[in-house]
Structure 1
Amino acid sequence: MKFSVSLYLERKSPDMLMTEVAQNALALAKLSDQGGFEMIWTAEHHTIELTVAPNPFTFLTWIGQHTEQIRLGTATVVAPYWSPIRLAGEAALCDHLTGGRLELGIARGAYQYEFDRMAGGIPQQQGVAYMKELVPAVRKLWEGDYAHAGEIWNFPTATSVPKPLQQPHPRIWVAARDPGTFDWAIAQGANILSTPLAAPNSEIAVLGEKFRKACADHPEMPRPRFMMQRRACLYTKPEERETAIRCSMEYGRLFENLFQNLGAVTNGFPEAVPYEAVAGKENYDPQNIERNFLFGTPDEVIEKLLDYEAAGVDQVSLGINFNVPFELQKKTIELFAKEIIPFFAARESRSALEAAQ
């Protein structure tokens, strides 16, 4: 099992300068590269200071100039906000500017707040139709001249300029939680991005079973990769534990606002909705937060990660951006690099040796 870091620019108040936010993100990217993480993933969001990510390719290109080997992924571009021609060209250019390190993750989108401003107010559930038309069109544009007549987009013969550096193209990943999306993505030859959100660890096995079934239903396709993202924080002191749990609770209330369109957003900063308005109130219990997320000491988190391994997950992405202090984000990456990545690398080496005997 490999590990990656979900990383983007986040501001929780106007007092935080963008210059400081950007330099902190760059420092974390460099640490991830040096620490043996496989990938950095970054999001796409608009008009939200909580996640400053209007174009993930710009951010990844910048990170790419300051790192050496870590791969750089979009988790994710939001299908209804793009045209196939624009996405094909921008992704391919990013692939060149990062030395062929791009991983292209695509999703239908999640925040209804954004859909009201970026996608004409369509229900965010309808974003899946955009994703299903976008992915094959981008692939065709990467191949060469292609004309498209679809339900959403229509254009005469065109091609991607430039073509990707990686051949035949960068790996494509699709965000999936429901069985239909798993099935469609694997039939397309895409890899899978998934998340249990704030649900208990039993959800990991549920998502793993959806992945296994979709793979079994498409024996003609090679087994894709399976990444799962989860909020993460490693700590060794009681006060760090308290900080992580408090920040997680507060961040969740901001997420609920954007996901369900429950509250106000002022100058890009969402208000925290009351606990009475949140979905899944049990997920805000401090004990459940520590139990469900990748929170804890390195040894405690290793035990949790074995559940991901058992579910067939081959990459776990650490969601370290939830307004937790920078020093605790840094400590999480450092402890993972020092104690957890080597543990699973040794475990993988033993398995390979046993298989060869």
Structure 2
Amino acid sequence: MPLSLSILDQSTIASGRGADEAIRETLALAKLADEWGYRRYWLAEHHNSASHAGTAPEILVAAIAATTQRIRIGTAGIMLPHYSALKIAEQFRVLEAIAPGRIDLGVGRAPGSDGRTAYALNPDAAQAADRFPQLVQDLMGWLGDSLPESHPFRMVTANPAIPTRPEVWILGSSDFGAQLAAYFGLPYCFAHFITDGRGSAEAMALYREGFRPHPAMPGRLAAPKGALAVFALTASTEAEAIRQFQSRALWRLSRDRGIYPPLPSLEEAEAYPYTPDDLARIERMRARALVGAPEQVVARLREMAAAQGVEEVAVLTPCHDAEARRDSYRLLAEAHAALPMAAAA
């Protein structure tokens, strides 16, 4: 099948600009993505972070759904242990009413923050994470599967009652999510950008091998449906893409030390006093990263997708320069449309 391109947006906060600007950049980019032919626009959830402004992806989904025409909009994801499955089902029924047939509900188990913040969001967070499979089952029940006869809240209805339902995805960066998605017969997306690809092929293989088809159940799948969420950056030339990558590289150095700052500017990245170890780590990052001219990045995305048996890639492109970020997504879409599929063989 032809590879579909989607976007994953963390509403990244850029050094020197406010979190409010990050939210407005997300809204503006989503409208362009609709025009450029991207399959989906997914919003991430993070809390207590100086790096990411997207604390409430469901609100961003509503805003984008109201201002786009074609593209699917969703979450990657809602961190389900923070919340009531009933409340999430109600929110996404409302979203589905706003944009019927265009809403995705990606859910994950990770906190999207530190342990203290997770506790502030839900004092039962640790136990709720252990109950993640049950939360997913309850969510599917309130989205239309119906709850078991023995369920204590079987008589509680998630409203509004609507004729369509959101597409539920399981998100993860380990074998657990892959196995859970396979068990429930749901689509699965591996967070390749978090692990730098480590464990990606193994998780996707587990998903395909363990998949249980549910052809008669609305909202479930008859066959596996996989995706990868990857970091990728392009520009008009390979050299310019590598130059823009400096911001991401410096941010990753901080992240690996447990620090989550705003995304540095190119000037900050170029002036940073790197140690020899820093430079060696950045060189390893760049060797793994999907950074280059548009045709180079598209070819590598297709190779990766084919090797791991997925039909969709959601691209994350944090970039300090908002125009360079828009250009990266535009050039990627144009190159994907222009490059024959045989080029990835």
Letter in structure 2 aligned against 1:226: G
1:10 aligns with 2:26: no
Question: How far off is 1:212 after superposition?
Answer: 2.7
1:309 aligns with 2:306: yes
- Structure 1 residues 243 and 34: alpha-carbon distance in aligned structure 2, compared to 1, 3 A threshold: same
Distance 2:146 2:308 in 1: 41
Question: How far off is 1:55 after superposition?
Answer: 1.8
2:296 counterpart SS class: helix
1:190 aligns with 2:192: no
- Structure 1 residues 237 and 176: alpha-carbon distance in aligned structure 2, compared to 1, 3 A threshold: closer
Question: What is the aligned partner in structure 1 of residue 54 from structure 2?
Answer: 53
Q: Percent identity?
A: 19
Deviations 1:321-355 (A, max 9, x none): 3x532122111111111112443xx528xx9xxxx
Distance 2:143 2:281 in 1: 47
- Structure 1 residues 163 and 331: alpha-carbon distance in aligned structure 2, compared to 1, 3 A threshold: same
2:285 corresponds to which of 276, 285, 289: 289
Q: List, as ranges, runs of 4+ consecutive aligned residues in structure 1 with deviation greater than 6 Å.
A: 147-150, 281-284
Distance 1:284 1:163 in 2: 56
Query: Which runs of structure 2 are paired with 1:266-277 in the superposition (5 Å)?
Result: none
1:120 aligns with 2:114: no
Note if contact 1:197-1:230 (Cα within 8 Å) is conserved in structure 2. yes
Deviates more, 1:234-243 or 1:31-40: 234-243
Deviations 1:291-310 (A, max 9, x none): 32221112221331212222
- Structure 1 residues 149 and 100: alpha-carbon distance in aligned structure 2, compared to 1, 3 A threshold: same
Note if contact 1:89-1:163 (Cα within 8 Å) is conserved in structure 2. no
Query: Which runs of structure 2 are paired with 1:92-241 in the superposition (5 Å)?
Result: 92-110=93-111, 111-113=113-115, 114-120=117-123, 128-143=129-144, 155=153, 157-166=155-164, 169-197=165-193, 199=195, 203-215=199-211, 218=212, 222-235=222-235, 236=237, 238-241=239-242
Question: What is the aligned partner in structure 1 of residue 23 from structure 2?
Answer: 22
The alignment of Structure 1 onto Structure 2 pairs a total of residues equal to 320
1:197 counterpart SS class: helix
Question: What is the aligned partner in structure 2 of residue 277 from structure 1?
Answer: none
Question: What is the aligned partner in structure 2 of residue 276 from structure 1?
Answer: none
Question: How far off is 1:35 after superposition?
Answer: 0.9
Question: How far off is 1:95 after superposition?
Answer: 1.1
Question: How far off is 1:230 after superposition?
Answer: 0.8
Distance 1:58 1:84 in 2: 17
Question: What is the aligned partner in structure 1 of residue 270 from structure 2?
Answer: none
Distance 2:279 2:97 in 1: 42
1:347 aligns with 2:344: no
Distance 1:8 1:304 in 2: 23
Note if contact 1:11-1:50 (Cα within 8 Å) is conserved in structure 2. yes
Distance 2:93 2:332 in 1: 31
1:69 aligns with 2:76: no
Letter in structure 1 aligned against 2:309: G
TM-score where L is the length of structure 2: 0.80
1:300 aligns with 2:296: yes
Question: What is the aligned partner in structure 1 of residue 32 from structure 2?
Answer: 31
2:192 counterpart SS class: coil
Question: What is the aligned partner in structure 2 of residue 247 from structure 1?
Answer: 247
- Structure 1 residues 156 and 2: alpha-carbon distance in aligned structure 2, compared to 1, 3 A threshold: closer
- Structure 1 residues 271 and 59: alpha-carbon distance in aligned structure 2, compared to 1, 3 A threshold: closer
TM-score where L is the length of structure 1: 0.78
Note if contact 1:44-1:55 (Cα within 8 Å) is conserved in structure 2. yes
Letter in structure 2 aligned against 1:310: A
Q: Which runs of 5+ in 1 are unaligned?
A: 273-280, 352-357
Note if contact 1:2-1:341 (Cα within 8 Å) is conserved in structure 2. no
Deviations 1:249-283 (A, max 9, x none): 232245446xxxx45x8xxx6799xxxxxxxx899
1:60 counterpart SS class: helix
Q: Which runs of 5+ in 2 are unaligned?
A: 215-220, 265-276
Question: How far off is 1:312 after superposition?
Answer: 0.6
1:332 aligns with 2:334: no
Question: What is the aligned partner in structure 1 of residue 274 from structure 2?
Answer: none
Question: How far off is 1:176 after superposition?
Answer: 3.0
Question: How far off is 1:288 after superposition?
Answer: 2.6
Cα RMSD of the aligned pairs, angstroms, is 3.2
